[in-house]
Amino acid sequence: MPGVPPTHFVFLGPEATFTEQALLTLPAAARGTRTAARSVPEALDAVRAGEADAALVPMENSIGGAVGVTLDELIDGAPLMITREVVIPVEFVIGARGPVAFEQIRTVAAHPQASAQCRGWLRAHLPEATVVDVLSNSAAAIAAAEGEYDAAICAPIGADRYRLALLAEKISDHPDAVTRFILVSRPSAPPAATGDDVTSFAVFISHDRVGALLAVLMELAVRGVNLTRIESRPTGERLGRYAFFLDCTGHVSDDRLGEALQGLRRICADVRFLGSYPRHRAVEGDQPIPAPARLSDVDYADAAAWLARVRAGDLS
């Protein structure tokens, strides 16, 4: 029901991974019920079926790029709406059942993506250790806690959840790496505009039209809508058929963004609105991106009022 805050959350599992860590930054989720799902499709289908109020799933990583399965799920099946984004640092730690010297570590459990992002640290500090692939960061922490391996690379929440002794923190080779997650619910009125928002949508271009993608970009550019991200995904119809995912600065209630969406609706084969929601501020004091000169909502209102006068025969 619109306006009712979610109380039951589902997230990409297993527990004690970065997704749960991101979810717990939301006060409502920290107080509510949380259920781990085995996959992104399972998490989103739980929301579609009404088994959960909202789902948190990964959208993109600053090292690995977009999460394709999330994009694919957003354009298939019943519509869903993004209501929030959460961005957290990807800070890996290495832990063990108890304090142990690095030279005593012979085996390290790690998810392949985790070990790949910590390759330099492992080479410098544990050159003799064998890294063993496991299914998740959580599985690595559990294996180390049970003594199956000498140590584990995992998320900080995993080390805390399974009571591992921290041997080292922030061991990633990319200290500034972050992952962006989205909170998705069933369609309703978007959250109110804050003045610092993101709008996400997908467009299906008309493939028999020359310059179709350029036309999409022009609908945004001529209105001063700031495009912050664009990704393409195959539609599954046949080779060469793609949907494009776009993130823009602004809210669907903004005049200029609303006009842009209307223009896209006219020229595209289809447009799927995915949500307008508050922008994550990377650092304290981060300011909204201002509208270009003469392209603010005030300017649009002034132009609309002028046109109304012209249509009424008032040329003063």
For the stretch 249-270, pLDDT in tens is: 999 999 899 999 999 999 999 9
Confidence tier at 208 by pLDDT (50, 70, 90): low
Confidence tier at 165 by pLDDT (50, 70, 90): very high
Place of tokens 């579609």: 48
The answer, yes or no, to whether residue 1 has pLDDT greater than 50, is: no
For the stretch 40-60, pLDDT in tens is: 999 999 999 999 999 999 999
Half-sphere exposure (Cβ direction) of 203: Cα atoms closer than 13 Å: 26
> What is the rounded distance in angstroms from the CA atom of residue 273 to the CA atom of residue 280?
19
Q: What pLDDT is attached to residue 66?
A: 92
- Counting other chains too, the contacts that 222-230 makes at CB distance below 8 Å and 24 or more residues apart are 223/256, 223/257, 223/259, 223/260, 223/295, 224/256, 224/291, 224/292, 224/295, 225/249, 225/250, 225/256, 225/257, 225/260, 226/250, 226/289, 228/198, 229/60
Domains annotated on the chain, with CATH: 1-90+177-187 (3.40.190.10), 93-164 (3.40.190.10), 190-316 (3.30.70.260)
160 and 141 Cβ atoms separated by less than 8 Å: no
281 and 178 Cβ atoms separated by less than 8 Å: no
User: What mean pLDDT, rounded, does the chain reach?
Assistant: 91
For the stretch 120-143, pLDDT in tens is: 999 999 999 999 999 999 999 999
For the stretch 90-119, pLDDT in tens is: 999 999 999 999 999 999 999 999 999 999
The two beta strands, 93-96 and 151-154, are antiparallel
SS3 content of the chain, % helix, strand, coil (to 5): 30, 30, 40
Residue 238 burial (10 A CB sphere; 0-12, 13-18, 19+): exposed
Confidence tier at 76 by pLDDT (50, 70, 90): confident
The two beta strands, 197-204 and 107-110, are unpaired
The encoded tokens of residue 52 equal 């959960």
